[in-house]
Amino acid sequence: MRRLDELGYLIHRIDVQQCNTVADVHAALADVLSFPAIYGKNLDAFNDLMNDVGEFRSGSDPRTTGTVLALAGYDTLVDLDRHTADVLLTIFASHARLAALFSHPMLCIVESTADDLGPVDGRPVGAGSLWDTPPSSWPITEQEIVEFQFDTTDADAAAAIEVIASTLEDQVGGWARWQILDPVRLDVEASDGYRGEPQPQRFDVVVSVGIRGEGDLGEIDEDIQRAMHHAGLGMGSSMCAGYPFGAEKERVLGKYSELRDSSDDQESR
């Protein structure tokens, strides 16, 4: 989000985990997008009011680069009402395409552990971070964990873990610590391609890595991919995401328990 701020986007943030009902989610949307008091708090009303957002009449500003709706903890809405969770994203996507006619970029960024949030309006969902290629500079702090995921083959998984660990030791071993999780089997059908592109080889497992420290992770993703390629290991898509400590702190520390330290336990008391 920091990078989008720097680019001049107007960012509306909602922590969906704070919502207990679908009506709470609509109330949060109404608040951040400046919907009128008569907002009906349902999908039809949301569809109507998104016209105003796209045409700069509400919740947007033509002086900015564009408008971002950032939804943290989206799993909460998925659990409350899967239909609403799916249709809300489809409505946003359709209005984002219309807004492009007004030279108004609109982005919806969803934080979720769900791996089946698509397709949206007939199009696949892009999973991972906000960029296809990580920036040359990516400063991080102790108050966040950065997660990388690498698709590979079951046969190459053990060797891939060794290559990842060796690369991390060489590149960030002086200031960062990390935890590499056991490989997890991918859904074979979903792993046959990435974003609709066919792959020459089937990648059936994912290796996840959590990194924590105070420094710069710029290009570490490319370093790992390069090392795996030089080792002759099969590799499919890779994804990366940063999790600043907040609503997701306990979840991400639960996943990467070896990266928890004593200060985290003191803060939770």
pLDDT one digit per residue (tens) for the chain, 269 residues: 666 777 788 999 999 989 999 999 999 999 999 999 999 999 999 999 999 999 999 999 999 989 999 999 898 999 999 999 989 999 999 999 889 887 899 999 888 876 677 667 565 665 555 444 445 688 999 999 999 999 899 999 999 999 999 999 999 999 999 999 999 998 655 444 443 444 445 788 999 999 999 999 988 988 998 899 889 898 877 788 888 888 778 889 999 999 999 888 765 55
Place of tokens 């998984």: 157
Question: How far apart are alpha carbons 56 and 39 in whole angstroms?
Answer: 17
Closest CA to 121 of 105, 138, 108: 108
In this prediction the pTM is 0.50
3-state helix, strand, coil in the chain (%, to 5): 40, 25, 40
Question: How far apart are alpha carbons 100 and 108 in whole angstroms?
Answer: 14
Quick one: pLDDT at residue 122?
60
Angle at 151 between CA 145 and CA 153, to 5 degrees: 140
Rg of the chain over all Cα atoms, to the nearest angstrom:
20
Strand pairing partners for 149? Answer: 208, 239
